[in-house]
Structure 1
Amino acid sequence: MTFQELKPKVKEITSNSALSKDEKLLNICQLLNEEIDYYNWVGFYFANQETKTLHLGPYVGAATDHTVIPFGKGICGQVAVSNENFVVPDVAAQDNYIACSFTVKSEIVVPLFVNGKNIGQIDIDSHVLNPFTAADEEFLEFVNLEIAKLY
């Protein structure tokens, strides 16, 4: 399914009043994981500004020990500080990478803004080297704009 075909499905999930916020987030994770071949782990982290930590929210994929990540640590922690998308074509070449699994080859993290404030991020791991393009970034920014409406 193309990104254009997925957009209305994302909107359908976020506008479903029968679902809780966490159910909507989980359903989005499932949709992306099932419909995009190279999205092998899809999840959300949410920021705690007081403790400067990210906390794992709904996700789909292999279990992770990384349920709390300090700002600045790893790709997710760097995005919490930079407020910018981070695409890692090859995690083995990244100095500040927190290894989750030997199967992960690349990662993309896109911050989630609500009223101009970075409240978290969507994090995607892939078992493929360098699969992420500008189209992935644009699509995930769209996803996060839809999610931001829930807050």
Structure 2
Amino acid sequence: MIFENLKPKVVNLLTATDKTREEKLLDLCQLLSDSISYYNWVGFYFAQAETKTLHLGPYVGAPTDHTVIPFGKGICGQVAESNQNFVVPDVSAQDNYIACSFTVKSEIVVPLFVNGINIGQIDIDSHVIDPFTELDERFLEFVNQEVSKLF
């Protein structure tokens, strides 16, 4: 199972002592993008509670204009408010969706908690309709648990 094989790689990458947090997160995005065929855009957004906005962090994939997203707007903004995973099998069926690219067919967003506070999220876009399963959710929850140790 690819997710089980990736877990030790995620841990090793995030515990490296010779890189900054930003470099580790970028390397993590690259690892996930390279390892899972349907992870076509992988990135982090971080919350600014005072302004109720999400700000783009490290990512791998096509450039995006969505560097700041208000809470409640799009899939990422909804996760910032709900504190729940959000899997979108087909983005064309979502009313509150911010289109990044016509190539994006589905999306998964998993919140990142530090000390019980939602400080951001990992966001993954796919060029495939409905590729994400519960295994993706559990794996990305594991990834975020490991990422939370950097904060």
Structure 2 counterpart of 1:114, one-letter code: V
Structure 1 residue 141 displacement after superposition: 0.2
Within 5 Å, which residues of 2 pair with 1:50-129?
A: 50-129=50-129
User: Which of structure 1's runs of 4+ aligned residues deviate more than 3 A?
Assistant: none
Structure 2 distance, partners of 1:125, 1:19, is 26
- The AA in structure 2 aligned to 1:91 is V
Structure 2 letter corresponding to 1:107: E
User: Is it true that 1:31 corresponds to 2:17 in the alignment?
Assistant: no
> What residue is the counterpart of 2:147 in the other structure?
147
Distance 1:87 1:8 in 2: 25
Distance 2:128 2:114 in 1: 31
TM-score, scaled to structure 2: 0.99
Q: Distance in 1 between matches of 2:15 and 2:62?
A: 28
Structure 2 gaps of 5+ residues are: none
Aligned position for 2:12: 12
Aligned length: 151
Give me the whole-angstrom Cα distance separating, in 2, the residues matched to 1:31 and 1:55: 22
The residue aligned with 1:44 is 44
Equivalent residue letter for 1:127: H
Structure 1 unaligned regions, length at least 5: none
Deviation at 1:122, TM superposition (A): 0.1
Distance 2:43 2:131 in 1: 18
Q: Secondary structure at the match of 1:77?
A: helix
How far has the Cα of 1:2 moved from its partner?
A: 0.2
CA RMSD of aligned residues (A): 0.6
Q: One-letter code of the match for 2:120? A: G
Offset, 1:40: 0.1
Give the Cα–Cα distance (whole angstroms) in 2 for the partners of residues 97 and 104 of structure 1: 11
Q: Please report the TM-score for the alignment, with normalisation by the length of structure 1.
A: 0.99
